[in-house]
Every structure is written in C-alpha cells, then in structure tokens.
Amino acid sequence: GEAEAGPRRLRAAAMAGFVRELERRAGAALRLEQRAAGGVGCVVWDAALVLAKFLETGACPLARRHVLELGAGTGAVGIMAATLGANVTVTDLEELQELLMVNIENNKHLVTGSLRAKVLKWGEDVTEFQPPPDYILMADCIYYEESLEPLLKTLKDLTGPETCVLCCYEQRTMGKNPEIERKYFELLQRDFELEKIPLDRHDEEYRSEDIHILSIHRKPMVGPG
C-alpha cells in the first residue's frame, strides 16, 4: 500500500539520477541530469562548469560554428555551446548515449543552434566527423594513462589548420595525476601549440586557481623544401 510507495519513489528517483542546474547569463538555466552509478562522466565536473561559463563570455564566437565535444559525459559544455548558436555534436562512449539524449531533450527548447549526440571512441575512425570542426571542446578528459595515445590520435585526426581546441582541466596533485598530465602535454606539444587562457578572462564567478583552460591549435604543417 501507501507505506512502500514513498521509498519506492525515492529509489526510482535515485536511479533516474539527480539534476544539476547551470544558470545562464540570459534565459533559463540548463537542467543537467546526472547518474549516481557508473563510471566517470556521469556528473557535471567543475571543469565542465568552468568551460561552459567561459563559452558564455563570448571570447570565442560560436554562432553557426561547427562544434564537437569529446568525452561529453552529461553534455553540459556542448549543450551550452548549442544555446549560444553553435551546431554541436556531443560525443562519448556508447554507455553514455542515453544520458546525453536525456539532457539534449531536457534542454532542446534553449538551443539556438543544433545539437545531436554520437558515439566516438578515442583512437578509432573519425571519418563521419569530417570536415574538421571549428571548435573541439574537452573538459577533464585526462585521467587515464592508457587513454592518452588514443585521445591524441583522435585530436590529430579531427583537427584542421583552423580548428580551435578548448581544453579545460582541473590540476590534480594526487597519485599519478601530475605524471599523466605532464606526459599528455609533452605528447600534445609535438603536434599542437598550447596557449593558456588567463584566469581574468574566465567567467568572474565560475573560476578557480587550479582549473585551467587551454586554447590549442595544430602546428602549421611545414611544406616540402
């Protein structure tokens, strides 16, 4: 009877996840469903909030631009870009597609560009994501050593000479994190030029000393002779 209905409802709510609201400068907040169970990528990490709010500053013109988010998780960053007029593809592994779909559905009335979700496994073929996007967005994508090489391959395969990669990450000092970070940036610098976006250009509220945003471009190809 009624006695069990309460707990059962709560359990259903817990499984359905919990909603994180992300307020916007103009208009209604984004409503981002998260998942309590499962691996990483199921909650809105701080780096995603910082990058999403940085996009709102207008530092990078997004209207009618082709944008791809890697390791999108909840889709927070890509969805924000779509509310700013970009044509966005949010990508992640197969097991996160359902969550991405839910969040696209929840926020589609705020989108002024376009928004779709697709499976992209780092290191695999990216033909269907060509031509190269104007922007590639990445929030907190560096945490496993074994994913560094596939991620770098994907970045090289996806970027054209004009592509701007915005990579936001939280500097972590625990365990192997600093080592993995150092290796990633070392490998990245073989093919890319990195520029740190100064803290005073981040959103005035959503910023932190240990969350960095890098603007990354392909090194110009050196022609023959």
In a domain, 213, yes or no: yes
**Do the beta carbons of residue 49 and residue 76 sit within 8 Å?**
yes
Determine the Cα–Cα distance for residues 165 and 116; give it in Å rounded to an integer.
19
Reading the chain (225 residues) residue by residue, the pLDDT tens digits are 445 555 555 444 444 568 899 999 989 999 999 876 555 446 788 999 999 999 999 999 999 999 999 999 999 999 999 999 999 999 999 989 999 999 999 999 999 999 999 999 999 999 999 999 999 999 988 777 888 999 999 999 999 999 999 999 999 888 888 998 999 999 999 999 999 999 999 999 999 999 999 999 999 877 765
pLDDT of residue 40: 47
pLDDT tens, position by position, 93-126: 998 999 999 999 999 999 999 999 999 999 999 9
pLDDT of residue 35: 79
Beta bridge partners of 136: 68, 165
In a domain, 137, yes or no: yes
In a domain, 224, yes or no: no
Nearest alpha-carbon partner for 21 in 13, 12, 31, 11: 31
In a domain, 27, yes or no: yes
CATH number where 19 lies:
3.40.50.150
In a domain, 122, yes or no: yes
DSSP one-letter code for 133: P
Phi-psi region of 58 (alpha: psi -120 to 50; beta: other; left: phi over 0): left
Q: Which pairs count as long-range contacts for 107-112, CB under 8 Å and 24+ apart, including other chains?
A: 107/30, 107/31, 107/32, 107/79, 107/83, 110/24, 110/27, 110/28, 110/30, 110/79, 110/83, 111/79, 111/82, 111/83, 112/63, 112/82, 112/83, 112/84, 112/85
In a domain, 77, yes or no: yes
pTM assigned to the model: 0.89
pLDDT of residue 172: 85
pLDDT of residue 81: 98
Nearest alpha-carbon partner for 29 in 65, 10, 51, 56: 56
Q: Per the structure, how many domains does the chain have?
A: 1
Burial 155-192 (b: 16+ CB within 10 A, else e): bebbbeeebbbbbbbbeeeeeeeeebbeebbeebeeeb
In a domain, 223, yes or no: no
pLDDT of residue 91: 97
In a domain, 38, yes or no: yes
Range of the domain at 164: 5-218
* Coil, helix or strand at residue 117: strand
